[in-house]
Chains A and B, each alone.
Chain A
Amino acid sequence: MSASTTAAPSAPSRAVGLPLASRLAAFRTEGFPTIPIVILLVLVFTAVFAEFIAPHNPEVGSLSQRFKPPAWVAGGSSAYLLGTDHIGRDVLSRLIFGARVSMIVGFTAVIFAGVLGTALGILSGYFGGWVDQVIMRITDTWLALPALTFAIFLAAIVGPSEWNIVIILGAVYWTRYARVIRGEVLSIKERDFVRLAIVAGCSKMTIMRRHVLPNVLNSAIVLATLMLGVVIVTEAALSFLGVGVPPPKPAWGLMLADGKKGLMAGYWWLTVFPGVCIVLMVLSANLLGDWLRVKLDPQLRQL
């Protein structure tokens, strides 16, 4: 369903002289996604070396410095480049450490959901029969609950913590993988190499691990990349509602919730910067995922 999927084959490839927008679009589907990868790498680097980059402690502020605007605005100081929040914490440092929270939660949740969903999808597709029925009925039920409602519901039950969020997001999103992977396994298990393996006397476990899994791995990776954006937005929404990453940890969603306190007074930097970070990360993950989808898995283009 992607906008890129139905692009006519005659699309000009990186033609010079086209408007910037259409050059960007051609770049997106055909070229290597340099910009998204650079953004993601910068974010990963920031997350890993947060201690060395951040100018201040992200969780400690001084009340005398509260609601300082960014450095280039009148009243701002160069000590706090992007300003300070309602208890005088440095916004830039919180954004830098926030990258770490988003990365940890995003990646682990996507991997957790991916491993669970892929395993159940393979089992469901390969065994068929009642195993398939049970797994697919559970999948249907969980898919009937809209992801955000379900995630908020679970978050309220297990209580806020960084690792609970990972478990919740994994529990909510594994169904996406299970559905797609099961469908692929259904066609893979009819292929000759699987029949040969059965004739050769391989056990079911071996066939699933050695012959089926490698063939669905591409789809799982593409799905994981596309899910990364979804997972990060959901985490931000949960934190924003106060059922996600608990304060005073510097999560971007939490910063937006804090920023709301200064919103009516016009302290825009508390709302604008964390949102820009979220959008940059999600946009990069989506662009990378779209590109991977076209490159790795032509069958998934319809997704």
Chain B
Amino acid sequence: MHWVNAIVMLIMITSGWGIYDDDVIIRGFHFSQFWRLGDWAAWSLNWHFAGMWFLTINGLIYLIYGFVSGRLREKLLPIRPAEVVQTVVDTLHFKIAHEDITVYNAVQKLLYIVVIFAGVAQVVTGLAIWKPIQFSGLVSLLGGFQTARVLHFAGMAVIVGFLIVHVALALLVPKTLWAMVAGGPCLKPRGRAEGNPAT
């Protein structure tokens, strides 16, 4: 699921840059052809409109599985503000203690939650600018078509920002890369007897 998402996210981001360039939101700010997927807008659009299905379906499966299995709650909650501050302070001192990769620190939890919300927001704002008449209620809720467009752009910026940190840190801690490919270690939940069938 992670790697489907990684590929589709890159497709959505780079094809989105191709679409963006026909009518820029920030004057003078362009993405050069090198960074765009699709040799011109029509193909960037086709990539984007193909990728959206994979992104949405994969994302839905991830969220449903995460909620039903309790994995999201177990891994990402609770987040205590004091822990976030402590982790930031530690990190600035280059004390990155990530010894047990099955447990996320507070900043990781926060960033993962932010990026999950950003992903959901991209689908919602994307739906609004894809079908602004059929979903006109959603568009006015978002503050109009052009505002929804800017939100869609901002959501991309959040995800790209996350991606840079996420990939940089994963490369610094190579062990996590193997875990991401293979599924990673999982410590048995406490209190469960050996040999019990999974429930």
Tell me if chain B binds chain A. no
